[in-house]
Amino acid sequence: MSCCFDSPSSHIPGSQAGAGTSTTAIHGGLEPDPLTGALVMPMVQSTTFVQEAVGKSRGHAYSRVSNPTVSVLEAQLGALEGALPAVCFVTGLAAETAVFLALLKAGDHVVLGDVIYGGTVRLVGQVLSELGITSTFVDASVAENVRGALRPETRLIFIESPANPTLKLTDIKAVADIGRAAGVRVAVDNTFLTPVIQRPLDLGVDVCVYSTTKHIEGHSTAIGGSVVSRDEALLDRVRFLRKCTGGIQAAFGAWLTTNGVKTLPLRLKQHSANALDLAKALHANPHVASVNYPGLEDHPQHELAQRQHLGGIHGGVLSFEVVGGTDAAVKVLNSTRLCLLVEHLGGIETLLTHPVTMTHADVPREHRLVVGIPDGLIRVSVGLEDVADIIADLEQAISIAHAESATRTGGAGARAAEGVLR
Ligand SMILES: *Cc1c(COP(=O)(O)O)cnc(C)c1O
């Protein structure tokens, strides 16, 4: 290791061209602390950095502008995606806000996918709209819909794939091509799959945004967001906006996240394996009307999933519709013993959400049904517990819900359940 102290920046193993994703996650952008040799970079809590002389500093002045611990995370996230150092924010939505402000001004128009994170919809519909920025939401799973929504004043296309909670995919390369042909920037919220499974920059997209709160940190201990790009001028603008609006991540959150990143590839492999096994088990359950998971061969976009997702894996999130609507879904969610009911995803625990009463409660029912969010839909962020235990827990909860609905309807519930499937 002494070589590293002689010349701290001479050798960053994970940054070597051709290193694999796990190697890069563990070493990329990281080096032992040059001062102490600490293997894990110590956290720097200081708000302020002493200037050696007027106009002479070691690169940091004040932690709203930059902080050494945040810089470590930024180098790491940039390396993981083969991009420039990321710009990290205190939340995913702060990162998104900076991207919108960097690329849009009054009079501009943005095209977005119609099933995207609820906070993004609120930001665009209730905040950017007040600033004179207009928007159109389209079903981006048909890429041509994006082209059709472009206007002369369109400056940005913003998509998310897979969509939450329908798991519909968008062909990112097709949308990137549409954007480039029209001279419109394209941004992808890549929170669900992370650069381990999906690399939108390689598909021609200008910028990725992340809620690092989810899989990237992975342990549900730090909120954060990041912006990743290969466009230096765009990142400079995003960094300037962060300084102006004050959204930089705090050192402790960044430090926790740097440790989370190291196991991200390993975790996503296991999340994905567990999700596929659970998807198959739910698919075979007579009280489940449908399962949405891109890794299932009968997912309508399975072919796109195989092409767009790396490593033959498809992430840790799936959704399924339990027969019996909201009542049955609520009963399932109230009957699990292992899986936890939360508004969150990407943690190591298996986490359940009922979109209709939780994340998508504000969305009118007709619109929900059109975009594929029925009353009985349950979203599962499949954790790292033994998959047999996850499956057993959900199956017993579904049985309880089914038995109750059968009692209520004198057996009609059971017959309805069979009818949906067969
Ligand atoms: C959670 C989430 C966000 C927002 O991130 P925060 O860190 O909660 O601000 C944005 N996009 C997606 C897809 C998310 O899941």
Domain ranges of the chain: 21-261, 265-408
Q: Is 215 in the pocket of ligand 1 (CB under 6 A)?
A: no
Rounded mean pLDDT, 354-382: 92
User: Across residues 368-393, what is the average pLDDT?
Assistant: 96
What DSSP assignment string belongs to 353-364? E-TTTTTTTTS-
Q: Quick check: CB of 74 below 6 Å from ligand 1?
A: no
Say which CATH architecture domain 265-408 belongs to. Answer: Alpha-Beta Complex (3.90)
Tally Cβ neighbours within 10 Å of residue 343.
Answer: 12
Whether 332 is in the pocket of ligand 1, judged by its Cβ within 6 Å, is: no
For the domain 21-261, what is the CATH code? 3.40.640.10
Statement: residue 299 has pLDDT above 80: yes
Which residue do the tokens 């490593």 mark? 311
pLDDT value of position 43: 96
DSSP β-ladder status, 340-341 and 351-353: parallel
Q: Above 90 in pLDDT, residue 266?
A: yes
Q: Is the pLDDT of residue 406 over 80?
A: no
Establish how many alpha carbons lie within 13 A of residue 302's alpha carbon, considering only the half-sphere containing its beta carbon.
10
Cβ-based burial of 9 (10 A; exposed 0-12, middle 13-18, buried ≥19) = exposed
What's the pLDDT tens digit per position in 111-131? Answer: 999 999 989 999 999 999 999
For a mutational test of ligand 1's pocket, the pick from 117, 122, 123, 227, i.e. the residue with the most ligand atoms closer than 8 A to its C-beta, is 117
